[in-house]
Amino acid sequence: MIVSDKSVNMTINSTRGYKVLIILSLTVPLFFLLDLLVGSYSISVREILKTIFNPENADSQIVMIINQFRIPKAVTAILAGSALSVAGLQMQTVFRNPLAGPYILGISSGASLGVALLVLGTGGLLGGVFVSVAGSWGIVSAAWLGSGLVLMVIFIISARIKDIMTILILGILISSAISSVVNILQYFSNESMLKSFVVWTMGSLGSVTNIQLSVLFPSVMIGILIALLSSKFLDAFLLGENYARSMGMNIMFARMMVFLSTCILAGSITAFCGPIGFIGIAVPHIARMLLQTAKHSLLIPATILIGALMMLVSDIFSQLPGSNITLPVNSVTALLGIPIVIWIIIRNKKSGLI
Amino acid sequence: MIWQGEKIIELTEVSIGYKERASSFNVVKSGISVYALKGELVAVIGGNGVGKSTLLKTLAGFQQPVSGAVMVRGEKVNAYREKELALIMSFVSTEIIRVPNLSVFNLVSLGRFPHTNWFGKLQDSDRQIVEEAIESVGLQGYENRMINCISDGERQKAMIARTLAQDTDVIVLDEPTAFLDMSNKYEIVHILHKLAHEKGKTIVFSTHDLTTAISESDRVWLMLKESVEQGAPEDLILSGYFTKLFQSDHLFFDQEKGDFRIRKTMKRKAAIHGMGFAVDWTIRALERNGYEVVHPANGSSDIVFVTIDVDYPEWTLTCLERTAKFNSLLSLCRFLNEL
């Protein structure tokens, strides 16, 4: 009797998790359609459905708007939201810090340094970097290298300094230092190079073309795949590296997996969409709260879906429905994410986690 | 006759310490030669800074010994690969684990890490082992409780259950009873004792709590300033090693009670008349206040006589022809201090 009671109890948490995952995976397509609806040119639901399911009979102009602009933008929103959230989840687990995220630890600024060096360093030669597939791969690799460099520095520091708050502060310092280097690069570059870089820093979900998507999509998929493959390692990282090692985990290998995945995810998104903050910190907490679990095999799918949802919502807000004005999506995610982060800090302060 | 079992853990002339620069070491302790047999509960006892944690970390393979050999099941601990070692030895550190939303069941099932596949999927047999582990530390019914929402004692039991789920012959625990109250301290050490004796595990734990360590452990590794001694706790007491643990003017080792006490400078003498266990406690109260308790026959003129009256609780004090009665030791002591 007792044994059977226990096994019933044990499944409560995971069934809750699966329920939440099912609800989320039904909500995401809904918001995807909603995101296709809003924009400076008003298009009805019927026209959208017609474009998707019966493009021959649809208005060619509307088909063009949807296929060339709205779908790439909504797909980018989903990719960016999931990628940044999964990167944030991994950082929070490995650094055992509720405030870690790709943005705060300077990984995003590392990516922007990579892009700045490429765009400003090569000068006019790569004026066309943003259009061609080869150029897209160039940008994405530069971002990966940049973010990888920063993450490497942080890992080296974290091997020596155990105090997690110190590491976080160092991350913030490193990202400020990198911003200064980027500023210096801007100062010494000519007008046309500067312009193409500034356009990138203001980059939004909308500036990602179908060509760039052909690079972004596989990159994010690979990053997420590596994260899913490391879910057992991430579970062990929850107890800290000494425990993980005592349970038989190869720390260097596991670190490298997480390291690689985070760089690919945060680096690729930063390369094409510019630095987007706070999604990566906030979403993992929402996932943990909704699922009431610490198991990464459930948390990773949940952060993917919640991240996608958050980014679609941010994109819808940034269109300011009913007007022609588009707000920078970075600001919207910050305004949505910061209250959540403040709530995390206050809640953790109460339970003594920080 | 010397009976020898299998030496599961054996340290031979080990020096422990930390690497300072490329070639220089900060040696914390050297010349450590101790061992542990199968099914023994070993307490590591020593003052702060003597190197208990460093020794346990070296034993668990987290750091290399500066010199000497740390053998576990006949092989050098650093020669094992992580995964091989994880099947032999599990570890509990001093750190309090505070992971939000981690249930007791999931924490304990992390112990199955070296046994499960790449994705960490639990088979039915794994679940059964996890449940048994939870039961053997007395946490049944706590499976779904979050480890942030249970007491320190319960969390420590969950951490021990995790090592049981890992199913290793050797368990190393760094101060598992720090932060715990007396009853939890006894319970944890008792669980460890049971695991060692009933399941044949070799368990090494460090502690500052002499009373529990002396009463429950089979063997003590006593880390003194100049050497490291091992033996049954009683042997170490009888051979006088415990007295060397804290070499201070303020502390002395009470060989009868098996614990350290604060040394008082005795200014005056007192004699006690009475019966029952009230005598012991009256002696303690007088000693704390600087009175050496002597036999009444050795009395001189300046001695204080304390009589425990038959109408207990009442004490009668006789001193220099003056007599006073007190109904508590507190008021008696206050009076003595003003003499």
Q: How far is the C-alpha of B215 from the C-alpha of B213, rounded, in Å? A: 6
The low-confidence residues of chain A, meaning pLDDT below 50, are: 1-11, 124-127, 129, 352-354
Taking contacts as CB-CB distances below 8 angstroms, the residues of chain A near B91 are 242-243, 246
Query: Which of B161-165, B199-203, B248-252 is the least confident region?
Result: B248-252
Taking contacts as CB-CB distances below 8 angstroms, the residues of chain A near B99 are 238-239, 294
The per-residue pLDDT for A7 is: 43
Alpha carbon B243 to chain centroid, angstroms: 16
| Neighbour tally for B319: CB within 10 Å | 17
State yes or no: pLDDT of B166 exceeds 60.
yes
Q: A218: which 2 tokens?
A: 């596989």
Cβ of A247 within 8 Å of Cβ of B85? The answer is no
DSSP H helical ranges for chain A: 2-37, 45-53, 60-65, 71-94, 107-122, 133-160, 164-187, 191-201, 210-229, 231-237, 241-246, 251-273, 279-291, 296-318, 329-350
Higher-confidence residue of B45 and A117: namely: B45
Angle at Cα B115 formed by Cα B197 and Cα B92, nearest 5°?
A: 50
Q: Which residues, listed in sequence order, are joined to residue A226 by a DSSP beta bridge?
A: none
End-to-end CA distance of chain A: 42
- Convert the pLDDT of each residue in B301-329 to its tens digit: 678 888 887 766 788 888 777 888 888 88
Q: For residue B123, give how far its alpha carbon lies from the nearest alpha carbon of chain A (Å).
A: 13
The per-residue pLDDT for B300 is: 67
| Neighbour tally for A104: CB within 10 Å | 22
Residue in A248, A291, A353 closest to B114 by CB: A248
Q: How many CA atoms lie within 13 A of B205 on its CB side?
A: 33
What own/partner pairs with CB < 8 Å and gap ≥ 24 does A61-68 have?
A65/A39, A65/A41, A66/A36, A68/A210
| Neighbour tally for A92: CB within 10 Å | 22
Helix (H, G, I), strand (E, B) or coil at B219: strand
Taking contacts as CB-CB distances below 8 angstroms, the residues of chain A near B87 are 248
Higher-confidence residue of B246 and A35: namely: A35
Cβ of B89 within 8 Å of Cβ of A13? The answer is no
Flag whether the ipTM exceeds 0.85: no
DSSP B123: P
> With 0-12 CB in 10 A as exposed, 13-18 as middle and 19+ as buried, what is A196?
middle
- Convert the pLDDT of each residue in B275-288 to its tens digit: 888 888 888 888 88
b vs e for B100-127, b when ≥16 Cβ sit within 10 Å of the residue's Cβ? bbbbbbbbbbbbbbbbeeeebebeeebb
Cβ of B102 within 8 Å of Cβ of A294? The answer is yes
pLDDT band of B188, cuts 50, 70, 90: very high
Angle at Cα A159 formed by Cα A84 and Cα A275, nearest 5°?
A: 20
Higher-confidence residue of B293 and A226: namely: A226
End-to-end CA distance of chain B: 60
The per-residue pLDDT for A156 is: 81
The per-residue pLDDT for A205 is: 81
Yes or no: say if B283 and B291 are a contact pair by the CB < 8 Å rule. no
The per-residue pLDDT for A123 is: 53
Cβ of B101 within 8 Å of Cβ of A291? The answer is yes
Taking contacts as CB-CB distances below 8 angstroms, the residues of chain B near A6 are 131, 140, 143
Cβ of B113 within 8 Å of Cβ of A297? The answer is no
Q: How far is the C-alpha of A3 from the C-alpha of A6, rounded, in Å? A: 5
Q: How many CA atoms lie within 13 A of B34 on its CB side?
A: 23
Q: How far is the C-alpha of B157 from the C-alpha of B134, rounded, in Å? A: 8
Instruction: Name, in order, each residue with C-beta under 8 angstroms of B165's C-beta and a sequence gap of 6 or more.
Output: B108, B109, B110, B111, B112, B129, B130, B133
Distances (CA, A) of B319 to A88, B269, B301: 77, 11, 9
Q: How far is the C-alpha of A103 from the C-alpha of B110, rounded, in Å? A: 30
The per-residue pLDDT for A12 is: 52
Query: Which of A54-63, B115-124, B185-194 is the least confident region?
Result: A54-63
Chain B residues in contact with chain A using a Cβ-Cβ cutoff of 8 Å? 60, 62, 82-87, 89-91, 93, 95, 97-103, 105-107, 110-111, 113-114, 116, 118-120, 127, 131, 140, 143-144, 148, 166
Record the pTM: 0.84
> With 0-12 CB in 10 A as exposed, 13-18 as middle and 19+ as buried, what is B162?
buried
Residue in B89, B110, B119 closest to A239 by CB: B110
Cβ of A246 within 8 Å of Cβ of B86? The answer is yes
Widest distance between CA atoms in chain B:
86
Cβ of A10 within 8 Å of Cβ of B105? The answer is yes
Distances (CA, A) of A123 to A197, A207, B41: 10, 21, 70
Residue B57: which H helix or E strand, with range?
A: helix B52-59
Q: How far is the C-alpha of B161 from the C-alpha of B189, rounded, in Å? A: 14
Helix (H, G, I), strand (E, B) or coil at B204: strand
pLDDT band of B1, cuts 50, 70, 90: very low
Taking contacts as CB-CB distances below 8 angstroms, the residues of chain A near B62 are 242, 245-246
Mutate to test the interface with B, among A247, A349, A350 (most CBs of B within 10 A): A247
The per-residue pLDDT for A1 is: 34
Higher-confidence residue of B298 and A19: namely: A19
